[in-house]
Amino acid sequence: MDSRVLVTGGNGFIGKQLLPLLQNESYEIHAISREVKNNYPDNIIWHQADLLNFDSISKLLSKVKPDKLIHLAWDVTPGKYLESESNFQGLNAGLNLFKEFIQNGGTRIVGAGTCYEYDIRYGYLQEDFTPRNPLTYYGLCKKHLFDITQAYCKKKNVEFAWGRIFYVFGPHEYESRFIPSMIRSYLQGVTAQVSHGYQIRDYLYVKDVARVFSSLCSSQYNGAVNIGSGQPVNLRYLVDIIREIIGDAFVVHYSEHFPSDDEIPLILADSKKIRDKLKWSPHYSLYDGLKETIDWWIDSYKK
């Protein structure tokens, strides 16, 4: 084994797709989860732990002594997470985790950030030019975690990469989020209720997001990168693709209320950096990612 890597949130939305990719590399893989599942391959070493329990995390890092760390875990409960006070706990847990990792000889950190670290009112968000003026607790705490960790890693001569995630979709997503809610409306035989649908967002399939984190782990790149497709998608167009895949049985009702003045019309990633620096490009088209996602939800609904 070349390196020992520790993953937080390995049982989560992105982590489920990341672990198989890491298995293809020559890593000894350790993963932290509050609830350890038994349906993973034997070569992943699971540790049941709570990141908010600083004493147990200190003991775990002292025992495992990983070379690399991928930190994905965070509370992203739909409808709550942007302004939840749990973000303060996430910030403290992340700082403690990174400190313990470095003190136990760790050499490379990869962290999960968010597009909400930016002032999203700018719409087209670029790593080196868009002001980082978060409008939510979630974005603010992620921003502080990045800034403090970057300064600490420079002082300790530790590599640090940070992926700012935009809009992700795929299997195992929270069922109340936009795309799963559309699919579940179809499966339940009810009309899907949608807002006006004129918002433009940057959607990327979860397996392609996981590929970026895998690349960041194995690369020597330092700093922040946007993790997005770079392709603007009108939500009505997104719904049209879902309807095309599902068929005429899928009925959608759009709200008659048009966008308010304070609604963000466009949130789009400049993805040039991950394409140029990491030689990354999506493996999945929007259509193919949605098709695979719909198939997964249909199979899950039958069980």
CATH number at residue 147: 3.40.50.720
**Side chain identity, residue 175:** E
42 and 107 belong to one structural domain: yes
186 and 216 belong to one structural domain: no
Contact 139, 113 (CB under 8 A): no
**Could you give the strand order of the β-sheet that contains 44-48, starting from the edge strand earlier in sequence?**
44-48, 27-33, 3-8, 68-71, 108-114, 159-165, 223-227
pLDDT value for 37: 60
pLDDT value for 57: 97
What is the mean pLDDT, run by run of 10 residues, along the chain of 303 residues?
Answer: 88 94 90 73 85 96 97 95 97 98 98 98 97 97 98 98 98 94 91 91 98 96 97 95 88 83 91 96 97 94 74
Contact 233, 202 (CB under 8 A): yes
Residue 152, domain member (yes or no): yes
Residue 38, domain member (yes or no): yes
79 and 176 belong to one structural domain: no
Residue 184, domain member (yes or no): yes
User: Mapping DSSP to helix (H, G, I), strand (E, B) and coil, where does residue 159 land?
Assistant: strand
Residue 43, domain member (yes or no): yes
> How far apart (Å, rounded) are the C-alpha atoms in residues 38 and 126?
40
Please, which residues have CB within 8 angstroms of residue 164's CB and are 6 or more apart in sequence? Answer: 113, 114, 115, 117, 118, 127, 224, 225, 226, 227, 269
162 and 40 belong to one structural domain: yes
pLDDT value for 41: 60
- List the CATH number of the domain containing 288: 3.90.25.10
9 and 105 belong to one structural domain: yes
Q: How many domains does the chain have?
A: 2
49 and 82 belong to one structural domain: yes
87 and 189 belong to one structural domain: no
Residue 185, domain member (yes or no): yes
Question: Which helix (DSSP H) or strand (DSSP E) does residue 291 occupy?
Answer: helix 286-302
Residue 100, domain member (yes or no): yes
pLDDT value for 208: 98
152 and 31 belong to one structural domain: yes
**Predicted TM-score of the model (pTM):** 0.95
pLDDT value for 255: 87
Q: Which domain holds residue 9?
A: 3-168+204-227
222 and 179 belong to one structural domain: no
pLDDT value for 34: 80
132 and 261 belong to one structural domain: no
125 and 183 belong to one structural domain: no
For residue 177, which of 43, 259, 90, 81 has the smallest C-alpha distance? 81
Residue 103, domain member (yes or no): yes
> How far apart (Å, rounded) are the C-alpha atoms in residues 15 and 103?
25
78 and 176 belong to one structural domain: no
Q: How far is CA 16 from CA 27, 166, 209, in A?
A: 16, 18, 11
Residue 177, domain member (yes or no): yes
